[in-house]
Structure 1
Amino acid sequence: MSFSRQRLGWNGVMLVLMRLHKFSERLPFQAPLCPDNLFGHLIATAVPGVEEWREGVYRRTLRLPFGCGIASLRLFDSYVACTVELSDPRDLASALDLCRFLLDLDVDPFEVDAALSRDPLLAPLVSSAPGRRVPRTVDGAEFAVRAVLGQQVSTKAARTHAARLVSRYGTPVGDLFLFPLEFDPSSLAMPESRRRTMAALLAALQSGLDLSPSADRAAARAWLTTLPGFGPWTVESILMRALGDPDAFLPTDLGIRLAAEALGLPTTPAALVKRSEMWRPWRAYAVQHLWATGDHEVNRIPA
């Protein structure tokens, strides 16, 4: 039995009644790997019911070509212990690939760190936390919906909005839920302008907007910029975390501008973009280093 990536219906419910097949693998990576912002971001923004952090293990649901599943990830010195529970064993390779993408395990940290260290103002940040990765997502459509839910609200409020959506529309998988991609935007407790933004996004996803890691980034960026309520911050965040663009940049982000001011970097978006030319093609990693200068829960793993 199979189901669409964007429409579960009763098929999704039937799938969760089937036995989940468990597989355990080691996901190797090239050290160093700085875990603080990587797992810290995933934990701080985790949607209750979809994701959880328990005793050093990050768990979340997966939407897969032939079914659904749950991934459990624990970091070790040279690999990530990965256990996936799948409704269809044919999804094993896809599930492992998504887990690698989520944790940005395939990047060469030496290449990134060497490039960013050429800027004398970034070099101390890189040397103090080598091997920073970009926390990504296993579901680009889900991330885009969550990005709209999080516009102009705090991290905590965004999680609350998402959790309400999951409790009402989520499809159960084991003890967790798949994040819904079909729902009525008019039911959301948010301003009418953001409900229109959400409706436009859902319509685009239904019409073929591809936000998977293999998608054409230029085409996705062009489509997203046509949607009402999708400014540069939202578009670049989706490109960075959903499509894995290593050069996505957020010059208007408040945390980035505060970090730039503290480091002596330009603070106006235009000037900061000009300075960031020397960080190409790794500006998404520079974003992680700049964000990490602030005291925010996304930068640390809970004790």
Structure 2
Amino acid sequence: MDRLESLRVFCQVVELNSFSRAAEQLELSNASITNHIASLERHFGVRLLNRTTRKLSLTDDGHRCYQRAQRLLGDMIELEDTLQGSRATPQGVLRIDVPTVISRIYLAPALSRFTARYPDLTLRVNVSDRMVDMVEGRGDVWMRIGELKDSSMVARRVYQTKNICCAAPDFLRRHGIPATPQDLTRFQCLSFIHPSTGQNVPWTFSKGKQQIEWTPQTSISINHAESLIHAASSGAGIVQLLSLSLNPAIRSGLLTPVLTDWSTAGPPVSVLYHHSHQLSAKIRVFVDFVTELFAEIDLAD
């Protein structure tokens, strides 16, 4: 049995934490996956995985094997890219997992540019706001909003969001423009309801050493950011949301930022992939494309 292929199967089992999910990802039978792992264990003379009906975990030898196998597979991908010229022509299926707001506003409108550059790639994009452990899902590359805790992934930050206050131009003409966060008590404000807690999300402000957190007393609270933006654009009041969601309405003139000198940093946007995939041509070109895409946003801000 091809030991390099067996190592690739082993890494996939570890990263997906499942024999059956690895079989699905690699389009192999469960029996074939089992045979690959058994072949490696016979060859090395050690047990690589602890397996029960409910749990799968690496042994100490398995952990060492996984670390070395990642580097070995990465070197092989780099060698293949160099000799076969696949850096210029990435091929195959690229599975992407992305939050709704990023897909709708940024990624989906740009996919035609990406596929025009790389016509030999087939994209399978999963759009979801269900934040599951990335090893549980099928995918090659993930985009995430927020601070990252999973050290087993390679991550590149591509965008730093901001918390921005905005209102419709007509609303500001009729009611005036707040000069400080304290002025907001005189204005109708719109609140975002946190989907997990059911509570209105506090607004944050920062200027120099001054840090302010304030929760508006409002007659309108909505748990859907896009609906909240539509309400603000219609003149219902001032809203504070992430620049990630607000950028299109600001650029189109539907909303005007206020209190810009009090804006605070929001969560970052990152693109992630497994260590063993870091030199893959299809991963590399997608990560570079996303970095370029969000750099364009920064230039427009």
Instruction: Indicate whether the TM-score tops 0.5.
Output: no
TM range (shorter): under 0.3
State the TM-score, normalizing by the size of structure 1: 0.21
State the TM-score, normalizing by the size of structure 2: 0.21
More strand by share: 2
